[in-house]
Structure 1
Amino acid sequence: MSDAKNIQSVKGTRDFYPDDMRLRNWIADTWREVSLRNGFEEYDAPIFEYLDLFTIKSGDEIAAQLFSFTDRGGRSLAIRPEITPSLARMVNARINALPRPIKWFSVPRLCRAENPQRGRLREFFQWNVDVIGSDDVLADAECIYTAVDFLRQVGLTPDDVVVRIGSRPLVVHKLRQLGVAEAAMDQALVALDRRPKISAEAFAEQCAKAGLSDEQVGAICEFLDVPETDSLQQVAAVEGMDGDRNAILQLRTHLEAMGVWPYCRFDWHIVRGLAYYTGIVYEVFDAAGSLRAVAGGGRYDNLVEVLGGPKIGATGFGMGDVVLAILLKDKDKLPHTAGRLDYFVIDDRECPLSLVLQVVSEIRKRGGQADFSYKRQNTGKQLKEANRRGAAAAVIVRGAGKPIGIKNLANGNQTDQPLEDFLSLLDKTR
């Protein structure tokens, strides 16, 4: 019996075969295209950082999801579960040299020690878009606009997705009015964030752990459950938060001017579970509500300061590739990403292999995607291989000094011409 082990991939991770890789690249390329179009610059950071970077202000939820380890020097490190703390660290390191506002984006690979399920894996890619150095709600509006700009580009409409916008200060203010202690505030917010995702019994248990009484839970739920049509009137009735109220109203005005408000609505249930959020927060969901959040973000004005820098305005969002791909598949919006070659070079078996290799090389030097068969087989079999590889055309090489055939594999039309004329045409179209 063989001693070889059939080692599988780790649960919650993915192998990217060529078809999968083409989809992954299409998503990432579209993220980059939209980011650059909206004036953001790309950055990246190490895939592992000091453990403290993720535990200082992210809260218990992220801390519980860390893949952490101790290096040979005894230092506590963690594989990044998110990139926002790394972004804040990088900005803090060059705080006086970077022109503001800082508009950056990244497409990092992230890892979280979660229980894998539909829409949630332990390893995933996430589009992060952030504006740092501005307290203006216009920065929040631009981040939301950029997210919607992507959703529109991939063919999703307001009938498909919705951006639910909440206000963390509004909910915190209401909790304070209800007598919730400051020490219990973060835990209470985490419970409220999880409310739509867990059972009523589990929600009641989490509220009890946060120290909320039944009366407090009933009052805050009544406040959050107000219909959207009454949401702005509800904000107007809350005393002592004029600045946050104005930010909410201005945000809607900006999003209407940008033409993306049809994708948006206010929803005070949205508070976000991460402890570093300080202002407007939002999440993107499929309109039917059958999936996890496609994206989420908000304002985090204290994170740079927590890491030793100045207090500086910051806002941004993250969009993961896992739920996004499920949504695009459900809505039949995935692109056709089959492998494709410009040319597949074949021979008529009388042609020396050296000439085939020369033609392939000349096409590639001119920027064309070209390949050939390793097998010396008849023309018909080579044409079948060309079709299987998704080639647009076959280049039939017959021998030195003889014209080549260019066969369009979509319609079957074929023309003959000297090799030099074909290569000259490629030179002109480079």
Structure 2
Amino acid sequence: MVSYEPLRGMKDYFGEDAEKIRYLEEKFIKIVKKFGYMEAITPILEEFELFALKGGEELRKTMYTFIDKGGREVALRPEFTPSMVRLFLNSMQHLPKPVRLYYSGTVYRYDEPQFGRYREFRQAGIEMLGEYSINADLEVLSILWEFFKEINLENVTIKMNNIAIYRELFSFLKLSEDQEEHLLHLIDKGNKDSVIEYLSKIAEPKILNIIKLILYNSISKESDLIGMVKDIGNSYSKDLESQISRLFTIYEMLSKFNIPIKVDLSLVRGLAYYTGVIFEVVHPSVNFSIAGGGRYDNLVQLYGGPSTPSIGFAIGVERVLAVLQNLKIKDNERKMVIVPLDENVMDYALKVLFLLHENDIPVILNTKNVSLSKLIPNLLDTNINIVIIIGENEKKENKVSIKDLSTRQQNSISLNDLLPYIRQII
């Protein structure tokens, strides 16, 4: 016996739930197109190594992977960025930089299902490939904010950090790439004490103290942090000061426009390819982020391409809907149906149907073989309130009869007058 239930961690959507998903996607596309982004559609199935190379510990553990019939190890995409980078390397290197891409679609992770976390879920996002300037960071964060303004979602906060600060501090300690990735993974999972315990055995006191302060958000001023970094002495790096200044410059710039942005020096995101500014969007009604992204300046090069600094973000569509639980899709249009009273008038009914559709007026054709009196209760149950009735007399006189089920009024309208009449009542 076939089960009617979807697989665990996956969900069917129909009717209003499906409309809400499309509503958010359409709002997102409206915003990104204003900024000049073009759509990219990539396969759901990719080579495993594409995602495993720099996905991070957690992502590698939760990927849907299998060996295909050609003996290749493949994976259902757990996110979009590696696919966008592969597309860029395969088809877009010749384009003027930066290349601006947007996408929307399903991704797959074998997580333990819970509220706000599914095994199949939807992301909508952007990637800007080929630009390192702070202007690129500002553009991407502005797009993110414009989306949340567009859907009227209040009380969101954009938390922001620069993961290069951690990477630069770790480089002083000569940690291996695997050690660095593991420590960042622990921070992302909130295991800060484990990080300090590990570093206390290998880090010199000044560096350990800085990491402690930023890890527990005990320092918040740019000048204080730069002063402490300079105090390291010979180990001091101009790159580190530059990354600190970049973070606070972005914060100060966006704060001028009342964007709810907050510097959180303890913020780390799970994907191992992040190299610079990172950010995520949170809302007080849920305990998970609803969007996030950051700068990944080495990923294109890691895949064998030229140096191509890049930045992007992804919005969790279902996660945003979890916050917008009371979202109502406005549908003020009055719904109509054409009811041919017998087969002899079907040609005329189709003529009316095509006329309305050619003029972008939605109307359905009744297919039930029942009398009009028996049909009306069914129409009311499906929120149809205007009935275009076509019988032998209507066909002969080139007219239609229009019955308004909400007022019970019925009028006879010539076909020549139908369009202006319909536009007036819907």
TM-score per shorter chain, which class? 0.7 to 0.9
Q: Distance in 2 between matches of 1:351 and 1:413?
A: 26
Whether contact under 8 Å (1:19, 1:337) holds in the other structure is no
Whether contact under 8 Å (1:350, 1:398) holds in the other structure is no
Q: Distance in 2 between matches of 1:129 and 1:179?
A: 34
Q: Distance in 2 between matches of 1:72 and 1:361?
A: 47
* TM-score, scaled relative to structure 2: 0.85
Q: CA deviation at 1:352?
A: 4.3
Q: Distance in 2 between matches of 1:96 and 1:85?
A: 15
270 and 412 in structure 1: CA distance in 2 versus 1, 3 angstrom threshold: farther
Q: CA deviation at 1:274?
A: 0.8
Q: CA deviation at 1:289?
A: 6.0
* TM-score, scaled relative to structure 1: 0.85
Give the equivalent residue in structure 1 for 2:226: 236
Give the equivalent residue in structure 2 for 1:401: 396
Residue deviations 1:309-334, cap 9 Å, x none? 111110010111121110111xx3x1
Q: Distance in 2 between matches of 1:171 and 1:6?
A: 49
Identity rate, percent: 24
Give the equivalent residue in structure 2 for 1:127: 124
Q: Distance in 2 between matches of 1:249 and 1:325?
A: 31
Q: CA deviation at 1:285?
A: 0.3
Structure 2: 5+ residue stretches without partners: 231-236
Q: CA deviation at 1:97?
A: 1.1
178 and 303 in structure 1: CA distance in 2 versus 1, 3 angstrom threshold: closer
Equivalent residue in structure 1 for 2:214, among 223, 227, 230 = 223
Give the equivalent residue in structure 1 for 2:79: 82
Summarize the alignment of residues 162-173 of structure 1 with structure 2, pairs less than 5 Å apart: 162-173=157-168
339 and 13 in structure 1: CA distance in 2 versus 1, 3 angstrom threshold: farther
Residue deviations 1:63-111, cap 9 Å, x none? 1111111122211111111111111112122454111111111002111
234 and 113 in structure 1: CA distance in 2 versus 1, 3 angstrom threshold: farther
Give the equivalent residue in structure 2 for 1:368: 361
Q: Distance in 2 between matches of 1:95 and 1:5?
A: 45
Residue deviations 1:277-298, cap 9 Å, x none? 0001000000x26331001100
383 and 236 in structure 1: CA distance in 2 versus 1, 3 angstrom threshold: farther
188 and 412 in structure 1: CA distance in 2 versus 1, 3 angstrom threshold: farther
Check if 1:325 corresponds to 2:315: no
Residue deviations 1:178-209, cap 9 Å, x none? 786654111111111111xxxx6xx656877x
The alignment partner of 2:246 has SS state of helix
Whether contact under 8 Å (1:407, 1:413) holds in the other structure is yes
Which region of structure 1 is more displaced relative to structure 2, 48-57 or 366-375? 366-375
Whether contact under 8 Å (1:171, 1:271) holds in the other structure is no
Which letter does structure 1 place at the counterpart of 2:48? Answer: L
Structure 1: 5+ residue stretches without partners: none
Q: Distance in 1 between matches of 2:420 and 2:158?
A: 52
Q: Distance in 1 between matches of 2:4 and 2:196?
A: 43
RMSD: 3.1
Check if 1:102 corresponds to 2:108: no
What is the aligned length? 409
340 and 125 in structure 1: CA distance in 2 versus 1, 3 angstrom threshold: farther
Check if 1:65 corresponds to 2:58: no
386 and 268 in structure 1: CA distance in 2 versus 1, 3 angstrom threshold: same
356 and 212 in structure 1: CA distance in 2 versus 1, 3 angstrom threshold: same
Whether contact under 8 Å (1:366, 1:427) holds in the other structure is no
Which region of structure 1 is more displaced relative to structure 2, 362-371 or 110-119? 362-371
Summarize the alignment of residues 41-60 of structure 1 with structure 2, pairs less than 5 Å apart: 41-60=38-57
Give the equivalent residue in structure 2 for 1:190: 185
Q: Distance in 1 between matches of 2:261 and 2:148?
A: 12
Q: CA deviation at 1:222?
A: 3.6
Q: Distance in 1 between matches of 2:417 and 2:3?
A: 53
